[in-house]
Amino acid sequence: MFFITGNKGKLEEVKDILGDVEQLEMDLPEVQGIDAREIVRAKLTEAQKHRKGDFIVEDTSLYLDCLNGLPGPLIKWFLKTVGNEGLFRIAERLGEKGAEARTIVGLAKDGEIFFFEGSLKGKITEPRGTGFGWDPVFQPKGSGKTFGELSKEEKNSISMRRKALEKLRDFLTA
């Protein structure tokens, strides 16, 4: 089984939960849109054209209540233009700080595609801590720390990605 990613951190997290998975670096086109499943489905379909095997692709997106769910999968463009400071400023000025982090894991196996979802509610805060992407502005519900302030182990133990991957693991071992 191949996990398609260029991200070593995600690969470790996947191996930690699923065991033996092989990393595959493949430059897959990302269809435009706000539907994470369609993005994952398109990548899996494309991967299957290039080689045989079972594939895993994941998408992790951030959905802001104050923007009716934007940016979602468009988060990378928000980070690029307004950054974490901008995300916080938008949520604060619009007066609604709720957010949800959501991972969709897609599995292409024996000609079929399956999806597994994990989500984590939280809120947008002033940037605190370090970490990757929007980690510094996302504070999970029930925690006093942002993802950027949690250790990698703490974050991975509660993350939306873990929830999705555990569902995939249960599916594979059922």
- Considering only residues 94-123, where is the footprint of a second copy by CB under 8 A? 94-95
28 binds a second copy (CB under 8 A): no
Handedness of CA 63, 65, 69, 71 (dihedral sign): negative
On the 0-12 / 13-18 / 19+ scale of CB atoms within 10 A, 82 is middle
Q: Is residue 77 at the binding interface for a second copy, with CB under 8 A as the rule?
A: yes
d(CA 150, CA 87): 20
Binding status of residue 89 toward a second copy by CB under 8 A: yes
Residue owning tokens 């290039």? 50
The smaller minimum CB distance to a second copy, of residues 1 and 82, is found at: 82
Asked if 173 interacts with a second copy (CB under 8 A), we say no
Q: Exposed/middle/buried for 54, CB within 10 Å: 0-12, 13-18, 19+? A: middle
Contacts with a second copy by CB under 8 A: the residue count is 22
Q: What's the min distance (Å) between Cβ of 160 and a second copy?
A: 20
Site string for a second copy, 30-49 (x = CB under 8 A): xxxxx---------------
Q: Does 85 bind a second copy (CB under 8 A)?
A: no
CA gap 146, 127 in Å, rounded: 8
Q: Which residues bind a second copy (CB under 8 A)?
A: 29-34, 67-70, 74, 77-78, 80-82, 86, 89-90, 93-95
